[in-house]
Homo-oligomer: A and B are copies of this chain.
Amino acid sequence: MTRDDPTPLGRRDRKKRQTRAALATAALRLVAERGLDQVTVEEISEAADVSARTFFNYFPTKDDALVGDPEADRDRALRALAAVPPEQPALEALRRAFTEVVDEVQGDAELWLLRMRVVVQHPVLLARLVSGNAVTEQALVSAVAARTGLPPDDAYPALVVAVAGAALRTSMIRWATCDGAGSLAALLDEAFAAVAAGLPDPRTS
């Protein structure tokens, strides 16, 4: 009758995840209430019931506690991208890869809505959210270059990835400003459709 534990993690790793989550949510909650500069690391740590020093064992920066875990998202996106058959055009492949990420986001809607609210009110963080993608972006560019077989100095891979990223970003912001009403995936599809159509001026439609 003993089922496989869905999480083969020991108590130690469980506690780590727990502490990390506690710090992240405490940070988001406090910053949402008071603003970025009115919250110190010490206050965040206290809210999560750990020492201030421990905070920096989990996040290299105060900001990093607010923007989530870009590495996880990157891995997810890369795996999803690799799963799309190479015959598919790059833009469509990226749309599918991002759909994966977007599903994850909508699964944690509560958390992500709070996060996006905080992020749009503090452009420094928006920057950080994008720069977390700077690493991601490079990986995606390489993947696209490989799948299209283009020479490594071609402009296309970097351009598609950057544009697709722009579509994802605006979709997420739009989703958050509507307080999560509606499907994020649908917004993303709309955005990608508009891009694939060459962004025609809507007046002339």
Contact = CB atoms under 8 A, between A and B. Distances in A.
Interface of A: 89-91, 123-124, 126-128, 130-131, 134-135, 148-150, 154-156, 158-160, 162-163, 165-167, 169-171, 173-174, 187, 190-191, 194-204
A contacts with B: majority SS? helix
Nearest to A90: B201
A149 B203 CA distance: 9
Given A127-B127, A134-B123, A89 B159 contact: no
4 closest Cβ pairs, A-B complex: A127-B131, A89-B201, A127-B127, A162-B166
Given A123-B135, A163-B163, A174 B158 contact: yes
Contacts of A148: 201-203
Contacts of A173: 158
Contacts of A127: 127-128, 130-131, 134
B158 A167 contact: no
Contacts of A169: 162
